[in-house]
């Protein structure tokens, strides 16, 4: 793999590349070959102190903890949406059930009133008092029908009442879950704010020169991790083309480059890591889970050696971060608070694995190609037949 492909891609070039590639149908999407990194500043040439390295690790830990809490918050938010939808659905069922029960009660009341108007005697008694044998036989049939109808009415009323009780119990359970989810979301928000505040306090206490050296330390650490990842040969042979949906997802994600990170955000002005990937794939026509953990759990896993642009790279053992692969060993992602959406090396963070939102796209594509080939074959045969007819 060329040396240029082992470097990180700048945001501006990435956007131009995305637009250019998408404009050329059938071309494999790949991140552009990045220019050489700028020479480090004079202050960065100074060997980093152990204290500053400790600060870097502390900040990394704080922001990692904030990322974990952010995904907890996102999960609680997603569950709250689902529970609210379920509560609305149950409320509609309860309303319809009550209407049905009222209708059944009206019908039962009408039957009782009819019996009252008949002198309070049951239909069987009226039948026995009849002197006309024919009327007796006809009446016996009607009585049987009436008994069946009454029995059915009472049974339906009972079932409707039971359904209403079950709906009420389900709704109550959903309310309890919703309340628990709200508490979980509030706790996650406190964790996020606490970790971010602590990180910002640490950064605010640094001098400008120290901030520059810290930024250089972070850059070098990411670059070393990326180089080690690439030198392992993990991407040897990787070059699969993006699917149509994948190209759309990558185009959406790269179009957000430069927009700020914000925890819990799903766009359009700000995003967190999983907010970016979930919205990008929605733009590609494929709904996927909201959080990085659920993306890891629910989406199809693929080997790194088989990944293609549009696949999602999941990071850290707890699956608390995600980026979208764009080709040439690079991802687009929303890093952390205080940073903007950018292109980074896919191996610059510990990779947990890779997942694919559109695993069946290849089958669909192959099926379409087979259909086209079949049509072309039939067309050719028709043409041959026509030529023979003309020859005759």
Residues 6+ apart with CB under 8 A from 113: none
- Asked if 32 and 16 touch (Cβ cutoff 8 Å), the reply is yes
Q: Is 321 a catalytic residue?
A: yes
Q: Is 374 a catalytic residue?
A: no
Task: Report d(CA 277, CA 266) in Å as an integer.
Answer: 9
User: Which tokens sit at 264?
Assistant: 């819990």
User: Which tokens sit at 170?
Assistant: 């389900």
* Helix, strand, coil content of the chain in percent (nearest 5): 65, 10, 25
Of the residues 17, 126, 148, 333, only one is catalytic, namely 333
Element (H, E) at 307: none
Q: Which long-range contacts (C-beta less than 8 Å, at least 24 apart) are formed by 149-157?
A: 150/111, 153/104, 153/107, 153/108, 153/111, 154/108, 156/104, 157/101, 157/104, 157/105, 157/108
Of the residues 17, 126, 148, 321, only one is catalytic, namely 321
Other CB atoms within 10 Å distance of the CB of residue 300: 12
359 in helix, strand or coil?
Answer: coil
Longest alpha-carbon distance in the chain: 121
Residues 6+ apart with CB under 8 A from 128: none
E-state strands within the chain: 300-302, 312-315, 321-327, 330-333, 342-345, 351-356
Of the residues 17, 126, 148, 273, only one is catalytic, namely 273
Task: Report d(CA 384, CA 184) in Å as an integer.
Answer: 71
Residue appearing with tokens 């070959």? 33
List residues bridging with 333 in a β-sheet.
342
E-state strands within 169-230: none
Q: Is 273 a catalytic residue?
A: yes
Task: Report d(CA 305, CA 56) in Å as an integer.
Answer: 32
Catalytic residues: 273, 321, 333
């Amino acid at each position: 793999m060329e040396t240029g492909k082992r470097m990180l891609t700048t945001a501006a070039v990435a956007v131009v590349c995305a637009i250019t590639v998408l404009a050329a149908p059938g071309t494999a999407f790949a991140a552009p070959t990045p220019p050489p990194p700028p020479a480090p500043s004079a202050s960065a040439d100074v060997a980093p102190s152990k204290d500053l390295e400790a600060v870097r690790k502390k900040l990394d830990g704080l922001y990692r903890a904030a990322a974990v809490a952010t995904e907890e918050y996102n999960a609680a938010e997603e569950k709250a949406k689902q529970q609210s939808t379920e509560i609305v659905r149950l409320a509609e069922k309860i309303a319809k059930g009550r209407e049905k029960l009222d209708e059944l009660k009206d019908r039962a009341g009408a039957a009782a009133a009819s019996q009252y108007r008949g002198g309070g005697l049951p239909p069987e008694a009226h039948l026995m008092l009849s002197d006309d044998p024919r009327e007796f036989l006809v009446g016996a049939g009607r009585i049987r029908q009436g008994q069946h109808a009454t029995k059915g009415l009472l049974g339906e009323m009972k079932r409707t009442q039971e359904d209403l009780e079950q709906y009420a119990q389900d709704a109550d359970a959903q309310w309890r879950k919703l309340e628990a989810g709200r508490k979980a979301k509030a706790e996650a928000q406190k964790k996020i704010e606490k970790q971010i505040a602590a990180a910002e306090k640490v950064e605010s206490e640094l001098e400008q020169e120290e901030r520059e050296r810290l930024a250089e330390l972070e850059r070098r650490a990411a670059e070393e991790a990326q180089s080690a990842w690439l030198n392992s040969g993990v991407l040897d042979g990787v070059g699969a083309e993006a699917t149509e949906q994948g190209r759309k997802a990558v185009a959406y994600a790269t179009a957000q480059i430069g927009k700020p990170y914000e925890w819990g955000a799903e766009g359009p002005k700000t995003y967190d890591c999983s907010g970016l990937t979930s919205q990008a794939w929605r733009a590609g026509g494929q709904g996927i889970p909201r959080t990085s953990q659920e993306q890891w759990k629910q989406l199809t896993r693929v080997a790194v050696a088989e990944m293609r642009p549009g696949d999602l790279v999941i990071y850290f053992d707890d699956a608390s971060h995600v980026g979208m692969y764009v080709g040439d060993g690079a991802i687009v992602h929303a890093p952390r608070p205080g940073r903007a959406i950018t292109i980074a090396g896919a191996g610059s963070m510990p990779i947990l694995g890779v997942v694919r939102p559109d695993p069946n796209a290849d089958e669909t594509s192959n099926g379409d190609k087979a259909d086209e080939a079949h049509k072309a074959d039939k067309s050719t045969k028709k043409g041959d037949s026509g030529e023979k007819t003309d020859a005759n």
